[in-house]
Structure 1
């Protein structure tokens, strides 16, 4: 080998055979030694590098190579960080700031404050060239991008769909009024609309979407632009930063368009929030988070636990020590006035989660000691009520520092907590409810259904659901647009729970009396329940308030708006209330109400409910026919079945618990 090639000279040493035998190896030819030739063995030589003495000039040569490597590394880091380093020195910019990628992607306008405030090694996402430790075994793939694929694209202001003056007005409204109902995303007073749309474009779009009226001309365009950001940046490009998380939270809080059956898009946005919290590791980072990070973490927890309960979805996030730590920090924060509202929101929602958890554990036990089941329910309800009373005293002190708009919403929350404590009394009135609590139908469970204690729970449910709806009705007109989707979900739940409570109470009152021979005193008691609920008039009053939010929308546009579809469903639900009462009592005790003033329900919605109801009715009639070869059992000879009401004066009426559950299930998917 040539020494100038950079590889050491090769020296002929003893062959393998002579080395093993520890014998002297004398070469006979180039590839054969004398011993192997004499013994007839294969002669193999190994080319081993010659050991060279270290020369003085080697140190200088290694130093030159090291300096070149350092220079190349610094230039590569400079390229990644968008720094034009003519001298070849290393850039001091941290990874995660706005940068220009080698492929020409423009720099991000939403730098991650997570990576700015926390050392890179705490995330495990430092660049491989900068890492002191080798990559873990199994590492594959590229790093998530720190640049935005939509950078430089003109927005709704650039294209003239919204003037900068209008944008400033909407952003100012968000800062001063909207933030109080959802204090987890705040904007600095000095941040203008122009700054916001350049620094955090998705958050800018989310703020505009939350504050513009429902009938605004750019509403659909705005929704399409928002989804372009979500699909292109978050889904396709896997962008992750605090600005995107804050934007998603605002979108969830004031979600109105498009309305989808089963709340599909809203649930998807909530899941994206939870996933981004985990990707940014906000729930487990060591050390202090920034205040914006703490608000985002708490807001995600609150949103991820509020809505799933009302739409019968599993909760995607649980409370942990980091959440408790951030909650306590926000309780003492003076950065923004709205920070004082955060702790009451988190505490109340955490208490509701603990209620559901305790009832779920009770259901999983199976209540083997069946004779103790009713007493166990009394103990749980009593314990939760005592805890709530102590909690309410603390909350009232904190709420006294908040404006009236926040107090109005908390009145709704207080009623909702009372509902959550007692709603296990409705386990036989709503099919999907059983999937959450799943109480076994033991002998003591049947005893609880007819007990005075359950009757008391139902009366409280009736009054608190009515109180929650009235609390919303009392909100001033100018504050209605600021109410979040989470409060609207509570309203929707109350519109279902109230008629369920009435239905359950009426069945308890009627008991085993035949519908044709109910005593007058029993009818008077039933009438008192119907009058106390005053359900239809309550629905009309609520509908009049909700109409303020959909002024200017056409019939088709109402079907694409959450509040619009809620109004349509309300009229359908109200139309089934009187038949339900009549199905239980046999007479019509529901007073007439101005339902004609309500907008007729959407044909599509009413057709869906009617089709489900007719299908259930046909099934039940077929089951009844199979039980009696002569057809349906006459009304006077029916076997009394608790909770089932079939047959009417004209022989064609059929209204059962299953049919009622179908109506309620259809209403529950309001969005």
Structure 2
């Protein structure tokens, strides 16, 4: 762009101004007085005074335009400066690659050393790329930089393969296209087709980073990006206090597909990131309607004046509100350490507007996911009330079962046919039915009737089994390549259905027909099928690893084997009629723990106790293939997150 001219008075008579009779002077030909006054210079006749100077009786002196020209830099000087900078950078990198003495305790050393927060705010990819280029041309081996970042005792993977701190531009485009397909299952945002990975990174770098983390095909790369995400959150949200839609959408992407970034030795993040997302939502004033926000903004001001007009809520903000409520509801029912975001009329309004505007074809999927989850959340609260004991003056939760089933059926009838047929919606509907039928099953207030059998309770138990069967058939009928993109909530449902089925298979109610239940859905077969699915996923969705690394799917196979080994003795005993006592199962009635509002089966808690050095569980095989490190990790994926870690640290939470 040509710089604007700098005008100065001419020392000599002006050249001829050809502005034309009665027209404005040409560009750069206005007189000195008009130029200083920033007025339009109108010239009547060539070489005559302008209209303004003639009217004011001033001397009309044209000016001479002087353009400020930037000094040209010779190519040699620019090359020399660039070479000096590269030499300094290479010397710094070589200085940081000096051999370090072996650590005294290599096992306790962090394989991903911490960096100062000042450096973490910038993306480390540029420096790492320069480091790779510098070391490749130096006399030191190429993998020396990577060797200094890992413990001496840790197995090394090939530094030339899959050790990049972030995806290449071509990989980023592939990952973004994959994420677009995943958004159909949990459409918390709308990505227009013209948005590329490069443009998304420029506009919303944190969202781009989170998408790359959940879609990366390299386990070492996932671990590196995961550390960067934590530091970015700490720096931008806590240290710099920069709440933004970029941060909120990135956290929602992380929470929506948390199953893809969980693994052994992972620090728990569900409670932390869910609460951070809620905090950012409130900081952006998205949880309330604009009118309500304006009222609270102005009612305590000590000065008057016209208040600003209420903000117009965008569709993107409304999607973020619904997605945040959905994540808090799912994770609160799963973890039990927090509460769901409060439902407001603004959420109802956002659902109505999104369904009416239809900017994205998948907005209706999001709104119906939230509607189904609202009913599931209500059933969960009744389930928790049963476990905690509602008191003598509280109506039994089973009395609400018919009303909730009616709400769910009405919702299903109101859905468009394509939405009702969507498999994620159907999975949520089946699980909602499981939760509704579970209300009242764990309360002892209605077990004794004048006729000895509580028919309503037995009907609910069978309805629960039937709904689990529906969820089971749908989940295992999905194409294998659809499973990696399922939202985290579907994997939560997988384990919760198994827990509920175990509870029904080991109940001591004499009126319950366990043979009928096993013919409807067999828990051991359920576990075997889940194990086979994880094995198939490990072959279809191939993640690149180094020696000693295991993928999520390999860990899932181990978890299913361990669960089966722990539950099989109790299930076999229940099938023979010799049920274990509640004390031998590790729970007793309402005093037991719970996972997502359901009583936790004894072997799960007993296994956790054994891993912490507790009493031996008689249901566990003495020489079975039990790896309690795997069981601890299982609670991070399928059970209450932080369960073992909070107990090991004396009850501390994340």
Q: TM-score category by the smaller chain?
A: 0.5 to 0.7
Q: What is aligned with 1:163?
A: 168
The superposition leaves residues 145-187 of structure 1 with CA deviations (integer Å, 9 ceiling, x where unpaired) of: xx99835764599666522111111112222x11111211222
- Is the counterpart of residue 281 in structure 1 residue 285 in structure 2? yes
- Is the contact made by 1:304 and 1:315 (CA closer than 8 Å) also made in structure 2? yes
1:225 deviation in Å?
2.0
Query: Which of the numbers 369, 380, 383 marks the counterpart of 1:345?
Result: 369
- State the alpha-carbon separation in 2 of the partners of residues 481 and 293 from structure 1: 27
1:416 deviation in Å?
0.6
Matches within 5 A, 1:150-189: 150=121, 154=125, 161-175=166-180, 177-189=181-193
- State the alpha-carbon separation in 1 of the partners of residues 562 and 463 from structure 2: 25
The superposition leaves residues 123-153 of structure 1 with CA deviations (integer Å, 9 ceiling, x where unpaired) of: xxxxxxxxxxxxxxxxxxxxxxxx9983576
Cα gap change, 1:366 to 1:174, in 2 (>3 Å): closer
1:315 deviation in Å?
2.0
Larger radius of gyration: 1
- State the alpha-carbon separation in 1 of the partners of residues 207 and 376 from structure 2: 30
1:333 deviation in Å?
2.2
- Is the contact made by 1:254 and 1:484 (CA closer than 8 Å) also made in structure 2? yes
Q: What is aligned with 1:386?
A: 406
- State the alpha-carbon separation in 2 of the partners of residues 585 and 179 from structure 1: 43
- Is the contact made by 1:282 and 1:293 (CA closer than 8 Å) also made in structure 2? yes
Q: What is aligned with 1:494?
A: 497
Q: What is aligned with 1:481?
A: 484
Cα gap change, 1:423 to 1:664, in 2 (>3 Å): farther
Q: What is aligned with 2:639?
A: 668
- State the alpha-carbon separation in 2 of the partners of residues 330 and 296 from structure 1: 12
- State the alpha-carbon separation in 2 of the partners of residues 398 and 156 from structure 1: 48
Q: What is aligned with 2:425?
A: 410
Cα gap change, 1:499 to 1:189, in 2 (>3 Å): same
- How many residues align? The count is 432
Cα gap change, 1:363 to 1:668, in 2 (>3 Å): closer
Cα gap change, 1:271 to 1:212, in 2 (>3 Å): same
- Is the contact made by 2:502 and 2:523 (CA closer than 8 Å) also made in structure 1? yes
Q: What is aligned with 1:649?
A: none
Query: Which of the numbers 573, 578, 589 marks the counterpart of 2:568?
Result: 578
- State the alpha-carbon separation in 2 of the partners of residues 670 and 565 from structure 1: 16
1:463 deviation in Å?
2.2
1:529 deviation in Å?
2.9
State the TM-score, normalized to the length of structure 1.
Answer: 0.57
1:568 deviation in Å?
2.6
- Is the contact made by 1:333 and 1:339 (CA closer than 8 Å) also made in structure 2? no
Cα gap change, 1:547 to 1:335, in 2 (>3 Å): same
**SS at structure 2 position matched to 1:509:** coil
The superposition leaves residues 446-495 of structure 1 with CA deviations (integer Å, 9 ceiling, x where unpaired) of: 44995222122112212222321332111112211110111111111111
Cα gap change, 1:385 to 1:167, in 2 (>3 Å): same
**SS at structure 1 position matched to 2:506:** helix
- Is the counterpart of residue 538 in structure 1 residue 526 in structure 2? yes
- State the alpha-carbon separation in 2 of the partners of residues 464 and 254 from structure 1: 25
Matches within 5 A, 1:115-264: 150=121, 154=125, 161-175=166-180, 177-213=181-217, 215-255=218-258, 256-259=260-263, 264=268
- State the alpha-carbon separation in 2 of the partners of residues 198 and 393 from structure 1: 43
The superposition leaves residues 337-386 of structure 1 with CA deviations (integer Å, 9 ceiling, x where unpaired) of: 2222121011111122233345667888945379xx7xx55531111112
- State the alpha-carbon separation in 2 of the partners of residues 569 and 426 from structure 1: 27
**SS at structure 1 position matched to 2:359:** coil
Cα gap change, 1:569 to 1:554, in 2 (>3 Å): farther
Moved more, 460-469 or 325-334: 460-469
**SS at structure 2 position matched to 1:341:** helix
1:584 deviation in Å?
3.4
**SS at structure 2 position matched to 1:313:** coil
Which 5+ residue runs of structure 2 have no aligned equivalent?
Answer: 1-117, 131-163, 292-310, 580-603, 623-631, 643-654
- State the alpha-carbon separation in 1 of the partners of residues 419 and 382 from structure 2: 27
The superposition leaves residues 557-610 of structure 1 with CA deviations (integer Å, 9 ceiling, x where unpaired) of: 34x74x554433322221233311333354699xxxxxxxxxxxxxxx999547
- State the alpha-carbon separation in 1 of the partners of residues 254 and 228 from structure 2: 13
Cα gap change, 1:165 to 1:301, in 2 (>3 Å): same
The superposition leaves residues 371-407 of structure 1 with CA deviations (integer Å, 9 ceiling, x where unpaired) of: xx7xx5553111111222111111254615xxx7xx1
- Is the contact made by 1:419 and 1:465 (CA closer than 8 Å) also made in structure 2? yes
Cα gap change, 1:354 to 1:218, in 2 (>3 Å): same
- State the alpha-carbon separation in 2 of the partners of residues 366 and 570 from structure 1: 35
Matches within 5 A, 1:366-515: 366=390, 368=392, 376-397=396-417, 399=419, 407-427=422-442, 439=443, 441-442=444-445, 444-447=446-449, 451-504=454-507, 507-509=508-510
- Is the counterpart of residue 332 in structure 1 residue 332 in structure 2? no
Q: What is aligned with 1:432?
A: none
- Is the contact made by 1:341 and 1:399 (CA closer than 8 Å) also made in structure 2? yes
- State the alpha-carbon separation in 2 of the partners of residues 453 and 616 from structure 1: 38
- State the alpha-carbon separation in 1 of the partners of residues 504 and 387 from structure 2: 21
1:301 deviation in Å?
0.7
Query: Which of the numbers 555, 559, 563 marks the counterpart of 1:569?
Result: 559
- State the alpha-carbon separation in 2 of the partners of residues 362 and 189 from structure 1: 48
Which 5+ residue runs of structure 1 have no aligned equivalent?
Answer: 1-146, 428-438, 512-524, 590-604, 622-645, 647-651, 653-661
- State the alpha-carbon separation in 1 of the partners of residues 519 and 384 from structure 2: 34
